[in-house]
Structure 1
Amino acid sequence: MRDGENIRAVEALGVDWIGFIFYPPSKRYVDIVPSYLPKEAKRVGVFVNESRETIVDKATLFSLDIVQLHGDESPEFCQQLLNKQIKVIKAVGVATTFPSEKIIQYEGSCDYFLFDTQNSAHGGSGRKFDWNILQNYQGNTPFLLSGGIGPDDVLAIQEFTHPLCIGIDINSQFELSPANKEIQSIQQFLKSLKQ
């Protein structure tokens, strides 16, 4: 997100986390500090194959609570950030089978996983994967469900159960334009989820 008033309006809906994308090729790229930053919602910085120094600098400048890594960052790279007291979400692309071997490498090197639809653009595809694949996840790290989640997915989300799923990540299906969220659709979605 980039617009201060849009950020304020989304935060007022009671969301837990708000993301800022620091990946220059993204149409949602944030290059300057918005006029408003969340005070209640946690601030998440999204990075793709960025240097440790840049991540630390952005974490400081934006007072990030957590960083979400969407590239080819190694478990060692994630651990270096953890050692600097930076919380880490490691995004993992899921296609038609669960990537167990990859996940095992990252256990203990991140605070959360984010399971997203596998694609070459590092997320933001607006496409879903078969969530039933996640029943194969036997790790210890909590995770977020992501990938093309939209207003019509309320029932599927309510029916999805996994003891380590702590939340969902919404993005492109709730936008008026890149990085500009549609407040009414998010509000209705959250209300429907709670019913």
Structure 2
Amino acid sequence: MSNTIKPLIKVCGMRQPDNIRAVAQLPVDYIGFIFYPKSSRFVDMKHLPTGLMPDLADVDISQAADADSKRRIGRVGVFVDATTQNIIAHIAAFGLDAVQLHGSESPTFIRNLRSTIVPDIRPELKIFKAMSIASADDIARCAQYEGLVDMFVFDTKCTGYGGSSTQFDWSLLDSYQGTVPFLLSGGIGPDDAERIKAISHKRFAGVDLNSRFETEPALKDVRLLEEFIGRLLNI
């Protein structure tokens, strides 16, 4: 990793407003909300009983990321094989800056999703594609998404969708020859700062932090995050 380029820092699986506000005071670039109902970190919409209007975002959750008024922290919505309509509803409700697709979304689905949303709904929207990694063959699957996504998120292959607290073999990153930058995810913990700083891959963009910085699902240990980020950024 070049010492002149600050790695992006995404803290995912946020839900509690006070916790979000505390994390927003740290030098993070993205906060992630998980909109997958089977996740223990699921963020639900407020459902209106009349059914006459669309469901709404919880205002406390949606606005908590704006705790630092001096800068914009990007909001990422995480989806698993969701419909385009569902994704658009969450973009509008939560003011998402990016969507992270964590399922088996095809290149055709992603192409159609982007053309539906950009530029009419959210001109600057970014699309992240999570890739479950266990072997070089999994890295090779990235090629089908070249030119369609703005960022890959390399996560550990497991039975579910993220949050396994385990790492894949980071030496597999050497086999990635694509042009799309990537975030490193999957079991990154408080003791990994020096290993991450040693990554020299030219497409490495930053880290995605989640379960190993939690005291319980969706509740981050702000002190651990602050200490880790300080070591990572040399501050």
Do both share a fold (TM > 0.5)?
Answer: yes
Q: Which has the larger radius of gyration?
A: 2
- What displacement does 1:38 show? 1.6
How many aligned residue pairs are there?
195
Shift >6 Å, 4+ stretches: none
Map residues 99-138 of structure 1 onto 2, 5 A cutoff. Answer: 99-138=138-177
Task: Name the CA distance, whole Å, in 2 between partners of 1:77 and 1:87.
Answer: 15
Asked if the contact 1:81–1:87 (Cα under 8 Å) also holds between the matched residues in 2, the reply is no
Task: Name the CA distance, whole Å, in 1 between partners of 2:98 and 2:147.
Answer: 16
Q: Name the TM-score, length of structure 2 as normaliser.
A: 0.80
Instruction: Calculate percent identity across the aligned residue pairs.
Output: 46
Which position in structure 2 is the counterpart of 1:15? 28
Which position in structure 2 is the counterpart of 1:31? 44
- What displacement does 1:99 show? 2.1
Which position in structure 1 is the counterpart of 2:52? none
- What displacement does 1:34 show? 5.0
Instruction: Provide the aligned C-alpha RMSD in A.
Output: 1.2
Q: Any unmatched runs of 5+ in structure 1?
A: none
1:61 to 2:93 alignment: yes
Using CA pairs under 8 Å that are at least 6 residues apart, name the structure with larger relative contact order, 1 or 2: 2
Task: Name the CA distance, whole Å, in 1 between partners of 2:137 and 2:23.
Answer: 32
Cα distance change, pair 184–34 in 1 and its aligned pair in 2 (3 A) = farther
Provide Cα deviations, 1:129-184, integer angstroms capped at 9, x if missing partner: 11110111111111100000000101110111111111100000001111111100
Give, as a single letter, the amino acid of the residue that structure 1 aligns with 2:106.
S
Task: Name the CA distance, whole Å, in 1 between partners of 2:132 and 2:105.
Answer: 13
Give, as a single letter, the amino acid of the residue that structure 2 aligns with 1:41.
I
- What secondary structure, in the 3-state scheme, does the structure 2 residue paired with 1:114 have? strand
Asked if the contact 1:98–1:136 (Cα under 8 Å) also holds between the matched residues in 2, the reply is no
- What displacement does 1:194 show? 2.0
Q: Any unmatched runs of 5+ in structure 2?
A: 1-13, 46-57, 67-71, 119-124
Map residues 1-195 of structure 1 onto 2, 5 A cutoff. Answer: 1-32=14-45, 33=58, 35=60, 36-39=63-66, 40-83=72-115, 84-85=117-118, 86-195=125-234
